[in-house]
Amino acid sequence: MDSSYVYLSWMAQVNRYVLVLNLDEEVEFIWRVPAKRSLLLYVLLTYGGALNLIYQRNELINILHPRKDLACVRIKPQSISQHAISNKHIYQLPTAPSIEFEYKLSSDTNTISGKAAVVFDGVILGSLLLPSGLNGMLALRVYAMYSQSKKICAFLIVCFAIVQVINLAGSLGLIIGVNFFPLASGCLFVETSAAFVLQLIVDITNCLYEVVLLVLALHRTFKDQVANITSSWRSFNTLWSILIRDNIFYFLFATLNWALTASSWIPNIPAEASASSVDNVVYAVIAGFLTNYVFAMLGPIMMLSIRRFDAKQVRGGTSNEVEAATIEFAAVGTGSRAGMQSTAEGAEV
């Protein structure tokens, strides 16, 4: 668990530097551009992701170094079995049907703000709003890659709606079951096996959604180059430029994030399974590090790249060679490149 704290602390530090380094471009391409939807999406991914990262970091500190005066939270309180609570701060698994482990929250149970922080930061923001924002932005990019095709738009809307309904169901399940209570000797957090299965379903659904977007993006990227396989196309630099320009790496990271997050729930599904510190570290690293990396950094960087491309107002590219030589769309901090053009498929968020 200490290694997980190190990862999250490093993540928070890097996120702060990313915000500072991109501040000038944020002002130019986000705040000074009359695009309210883009602004809301950017604020959600950038500052919402940073807020959720801070929340997760503070909660991990409380798990590693708990204090007796902190509040406690439990989910599915009807499943609590009466037994003595030890002083260990790592998850414990008693007998079926419940999975139980000690957990302390930094919020005060006597304040409305304390309860709201748990529900908003831990559930609504982290489990619903941030995934929805990232899913929507990636879908818009694929929609733009296919020249705003109505068929692709309808397909993406259906996929997006299904994923968000499942995300909402999972989030509501957590919110309804949250209950606060004081416990002088420690805190107890209870989660049934069914709840673990629900979270696994949510993560798998998000993973499948990202896989669909990744396949669509790869199909469009390489299909556009099949008719123009030249020596320049065979070069590594040009191939790298195409993958970056079409945001393929963003789709890869998003897919990897949900795949690993889903796999981290699997060992905890059987009620008779035994928890270990290794399982806890794996979950904390994946959920805390990789998820926030995607939400708080890759999402905002992708948004800035799209807005930078739009701000140049370059349209009507005439050849795939010009398109393949362009990494301006997705590379951060590359500066102006003379003579760059792109097709009308450039994304406009």
Does residue 247 lie within any of the structural domains? yes
Q: Which two tokens stand for residue 86?
A: 């030890």
Domain limits for position 250:
2-324
Q: Kindly report, residue by residue over 290-303, the tens digit of the pLDDT.
A: 666 676 677 777 77
What phi, psi does 74 have (nearest 5°)? -140, 150
Q: Residue 45 to residues 63, 125, 194, 281: CA-CA distances in angstroms?
A: 26, 10, 30, 25
CA–CA gap between residue 48 and residue 14 (Å, rounded): 16
Is 346 a member of any domain?
no
CB atoms within 10 A of CB 132: 17
The predicted structure's pLDDT at residue 147: 74
In a domain, 127, yes or no: yes
Distance CA 193, CA 266 (A): 10
Is residue 337 a part of any domain in this protein? no
- The Cα diameter of the chain in Å comes to 73
Q: Looking at the domain assignment, is residue 86 inside a domain? A: yes
- Give pLDDT < 50 ranges for the chain: 1-4, 68-110, 178-191, 230-236, 270-279, 313-349
Total tally of structural domains belonging to the chain = 1
Q: What is the pLDDT of residue 13?
A: 63
Strands 98-101, 178-180: pairing is unpaired
Residue 333 lies in a domain: no
> CA-CA distance, 256 to 52, in Å (whole number)?
20
Task: Tell me if 301 sits within 8 A of 18, measured CB to CB.
Answer: yes
Is there a domain that residue 178 lies in? yes
- The residues, any chain, with a CB within 8 Å of residue 49's CB and separated by 6 or more, are 15, 130, 292, 295, 296, 297, 299, 300
State the Cα torsion 148-151-153-156 to the nearest 10°: -140
* CATH of residue 30: 1.20.1070
Burial environment of residue 50 by CB neighbours within 10 A (0 to 12, 13 to 18, 19 or more): buried
Cα 11 → chain centroid: 13
pLDDT in tens, 336-345: 333 333 333 3
330 belongs to a structural domain: no
Q: Is 281 exposed, middle or buried (0-12, 13-18, 19+ CB in 10 A)?
A: middle
